[in-house]
Amino acid sequence: MEEVAIKIEKLSKSFQVGKNNIPVLFDIDLEINKGDFTMLVGPSGCGKSTLLHIIYGLESPTKGKVYIDGYDIWEKTKDWRAYFRNQKVGFIPQQAFWIKSLTVIENIAIPAVIGGESFKDAAERAAKLIELVGMEKWADYRPYDLSGGQQQKIALARSLLLNPAFIIADEPTGNLDQKAGKNLLLLLRDINKKFGITILMVTHDLNQYKYASRIVNMLDGKIVSNIINKHGIDFIANSDRKK
């Protein structure tokens, strides 16, 4: 039996805009297993980011439940969710944000320092992660001096700092060219495999589907399919790498 990592039950979301109530998500049910590499796909405006934000604990649902690791996260307090995020969930936003006055390595280390770790310990672990994403040469740069693809790799390193069980990524390859996008994706795949981290990411790129173990399709605020992608994942990813 596979273990359920994320379970969503009858989730709805509407936004209040002025006097209007705008429904965005409708009665969503979804299950993702531990170790899945899930791609969430669908047209612009269908509600993908909204769903990710609710799962990440930033935006509250109007109705319904979100269970992560068995915890009903919206039953808990805001502080509990903040702690849970810090301990368990790495987030890669579409547009990376950085503290301008800090170097790359310092930016990677900062979540642990905020969590109470000494800067020295945090920087040591950050140094390992920067190697993992192949960016050690850029450790002392300012993040905004790096290319979009390089920044996304650094964002991935930062998301891994606190040993998350989950990574949630909102179009991490959205601003990248084909090659850089593919490299980042292979890196995510390796991390998914090597560390068993459950990954949920949004993409618009059809070429990336082959790397997913699960493809969830959204349309107009509803999930229209949730497909396990048995083919591809190992076969295609490995044969690609040999090229």
Residue with tokens 């909102």: 170
107 counts as binding Mg ion under rule CB under 5 A:
no
189 counts as binding ligand ATP under rule CB under 6 A:
no
6 strand-pairing partners = 32, 68
Residue nearest to Mg ion (CB): 49
3-state secondary structure of 157: helix
Region binding ligand ATP by CB under 6 A among candidate stretches 4-12, 45-53, 64-72, 138-146: 45-53
- Residue choice 8, 28, 39, 50 for contact with ligand ATP (CB under 6 A): 50
Burial 57-67 (b: 16+ CB within 10 A, else e): beeebeebebb
Q: Whose Cβ is closer to Mg ion: residue 41's or residue 112's? A: 41
Amino acid identity of 179? K
- Residue choice 6, 8, 49, 208 for contact with ligand ATP (CB under 6 A): 49
- Give the containing element (helix H, strand E) for 7: strand 4-17
Q: Whose Cβ is closer to Mg ion: residue 197's or residue 201's? A: 201
CB of 47 closer than 8 Å to CB of 15: no
Binding to ligand ATP, residues 21-40 (CB under 6 A):
22, 24
Structure tokens at 31: 């299950």
Q: Whose Cβ is closer to Mg ion: residue 49's or residue 213's? A: 49
Residues in contact with ligand ATP by CB under 6 A are 15, 17, 22, 24, 44-50
